[in-house]
Amino acid sequence: MQFLYIVSLKLYEKYISRLLIQKICACLNLIKLFIFSRFNKDFIYHYGIFGKYCNVGDGILYEQIERIFDLYTNRKNKWYNRLAVGEVTSLEVSLINKYCPLLVVGGHGLLMPDSNKNNNSGWGFNIKIKNLKKINIPVVFFAIGYNVFRNKETFIPIFKEHLTECVQKSLFFGLRNYGSINRIKTYLPEQLHSKIKYQPCSATILQQEPLYEPFDKKEIAIVTAFNKINYRYSISLSNILEQLLKYAIKMQDDGFIVNFYGHHLFDTHGKCYNYLKKNGFRTLPLFKYKKNDIYNLYKQNKLVVSMRGHGLMIPFGFSLPAISLTTQDKQKWFLETIGHPDWNIDVNSDFFSALVQKTSEIMNNYGEIQKNLIKQKKVNQNITRENMEFIVSNLNGK
């Protein structure tokens, strides 16, 4: 099954017309919504990049977003998960208006020019402006991210106009870190800047009651990122792998158990995976695990080193320190937002010594660091509560 998935992705990238795929998916999504609406009424329309193999973090955050809305609306809502592939057509908007009290564009780094690439919006929310204007129910953009890879900011001209319309129309427009907020404001007229709010990613508030973790844990996780390699890495990938291996061996020599975690299917296939395996380190395919098992795997670690954004956010949700080997600015922005810019290390550098030094600093001051993480997570929880109280109080009785 995994092999077929990989092959289909490669064929899609090389040979299949993206426009054709978009049109087929638009039709399938319309049919799916029509059937769903025959059996369900008064359901929340949730738009996002759903998919088991796409990214473990995204699967967790979507589920947590729905949990948060259920909690603050004080009901078990019905949710329609709309995969962000294919255009949201005028007919689909008609069904949304008829059956949904709320439309949530939730989670994921949808603010990218090449994620769900289309000419209708220039970013992940694929709907023409004329159809966007037809939506007559509250629209909430919840904890989305500006996830453009470094030096890849190539939005088409329609993006600015579309984004402006989205912000104007929205009941709430929340971004998951202040770096994303600052970048998005450059595309908006100044009078709309005040509508952009900080809404932490739901993955950062997984554990409702902050609990102190025992300090004697002896495991370190390294979260890999081996998809979109050409976008992430500007130096030799073999150099990066050699440094990762050197760090893992060093930590083992210091008495730690080291495991590699794979969030994406491509993290557990190919030359990068084979290199680590050949040198004695297996990469756990977290996308195969159930949610609670993923949580338990993260919580067993004393420290996480991550090349992915959610490999930082999920451990933060459990009050665990996480060092970033940064492949995207979103990682640096997350650490800045939680008050730990010092945990940011550029992966495209000779990072081994800096990583060992930062690991030592964290281990030597672990108790105080964890107390600070718990405080910051409480801040995220309070901000989420305030944002949700605003949203719920402005739903116009829908």
Quick: pLDDT tens for 83-133.
888 899 999 999 999 999 999 998 778 898 887 889 999 999 999 999 999
Query: pLDDT digit string (tens) for 184-226?
Result: 999 999 999 999 999 999 989 876 554 555 667 899 999 999 9
pLDDT for residue 387: 97
d(CA 259, CA 281): 7
Cα-based angle 275, 363, 178 (whole degrees, multiple of 5): 80
The residues, any chain, with a CB within 8 Å of residue 380's CB and separated by 6 or more, are 200, 204, 205
- Confidence class for position 74, pLDDT limits 50, 70, 90: very high
pLDDT for residue 2: 43
pLDDT for residue 6: 44
d(CA 94, CA 135): 8
- Confidence class for position 51, pLDDT limits 50, 70, 90: low
- Round the CA-based radius of gyration of the chain to a whole number and report it: 21
pLDDT for residue 328: 92
Which of 212-226, 299-313, 320-334 is least confident?
212-226
- Sheet containing strand 79-83, edge to edge, reads 79-83, 44-48, 103-106, 139-144, 172-175, 196-198
For residue 212, give the DSSP letter: P
Read off the tokens for 213.
Answer: 């973790």
- Confidence class for position 396, pLDDT limits 50, 70, 90: low
Residues 164-175, mean pLDDT to the nearest whole number: 98
Decide: 23 and 58 in contact? Cβ < 8 Å: no
Residues 47-72, mean pLDDT to the nearest whole number: 84
pLDDT for residue 315: 95
What class is the 2-199 domain? alpha beta
pLDDT for residue 52: 54
Q: Do domains 2-199 and 219-377 have the same CATH topology?
A: yes
d(CA 182, CA 166): 17
Report domain extents, the chain. 2-199, 219-377
- Confidence class for position 397, pLDDT limits 50, 70, 90: low
Mean pLDDT estimate for the chain: 90
Q: Tell me the backbone φ, ψ of residue 257, rounded to 5 degrees.
A: -90, 130
Residues 74-82, mean pLDDT to the nearest whole number: 94
Pick the CATH number of 219-377 from 3.40.190.10, 2.170.130.10, 3.60.21.10, 3.40.50.2000: 3.40.50.2000
